[in-house]
Amino acid sequence: MNENICKTIFDKLMAELPALWKGEETILYMKENGCRNWRQMEWPGWYFQFMCETILSKDNFFAIPGPAYGKVEFDGQKVIPWDFKAHTANTGTNQNKVPTNGYQEVMKAIEEYGRVGFIIASGDAVFDDKDQTFKKWHDALKGKTSDYEKKRIARQAPSRRRKASFKLDAIRFVILDKTTVQYCGSFQGGMRNSNGVARNPKVMLDVSDTRLEQYIFKVQ
């Protein structure tokens, strides 16, 4: 993939994409602009996907959505299929790992197009305070308790700390082909859904792997 194409995509995004994503402002923006995923707990990823779809679809710069393989649909297409992801760099033990699409679907897309790409918003999050002020605000905006939350309460599991804001540091472009996809790991292989159906293993990117084709553009 030509680095110049990635830089053109980056410039187009950053002409409209803010660098600081405040949780309350961002969720209200999604809600008011017809994004159906404004209720989601992991809102930074959904916000980035919504903004990519909104910005990159203008003037038919990108085809939105991209090709579908079974029930799995790529977010967009420009020359090759692309997916849009957000990655929080300051959390968890595997800070370089980014879960992506289903392995079978990625392989089918590579077979058809030669390559697939991932556009990844990378940055640091500020998490909710000890009183869960942001979570309480988000729950009140939703107006009802989600099924996910009901199940968590029923099994007496602790509530995960929400991201209250996200500071965009860079946008990373990762392109996989039939050779480099072999360097990737897998995620949720062998796991099952609550109904017992096996989950589709997903491709896990390790963005610290120098064998991958990557282009990184820092946000000013």
Query: Over the stretch 68-121, which tens digit does the pLDDT of each residue have?
Result: 998 899 999 999 999 999 999 887 666 889 999 889 999 999 999 999 999 999
CA 198/CA 191 separation, integer angstroms:
6
Name the residue among 120, 159, 122, 115 with its Cα closest to residue 138: 159
> What pLDDT score does 71 carry?
86
Q: Which two tokens stand for residue 50?
A: 């919504």
Q: Which two tokens stand for residue 134?
A: 């942001």
> What pLDDT score does 162 carry?
93
> What pLDDT score does 95 carry?
81
CA 127/CA 135 separation, integer angstroms:
10
Name the residue among 69, 53, 70, 61 with its Cα closest to residue 17: 53
CA 108/CA 115 separation, integer angstroms:
10
Rg (CA), the chain: 18
CA 113/CA 67 separation, integer angstroms:
10
Name the residue among 120, 117, 115, 106 with its Cα closest to residue 200: 106
* CATH of segment(s) 3-125+164-218: 3.40.210
CA distances from 37 to 42, 78, 108 (A): 10, 24, 27
Q: Which residues of the chain have pLDDT under 50?
A: 190-197
> What pLDDT score does 1 carry?
62
CA distances from 157 to 42, 160, 186 (A): 18, 9, 26
> What pLDDT score does 200 carry?
74
> What pLDDT score does 193 carry?
41
CA 28/CA 82 separation, integer angstroms:
26
DSSP 172-200: EEEEE-TTGGGG-EEESTT-B-TTSPBPP
> What pLDDT score does 149 carry?
63
Average pLDDT value over all residues in the chain: 89
pTM confidence score = 0.88
> What pLDDT score does 86 carry?
96
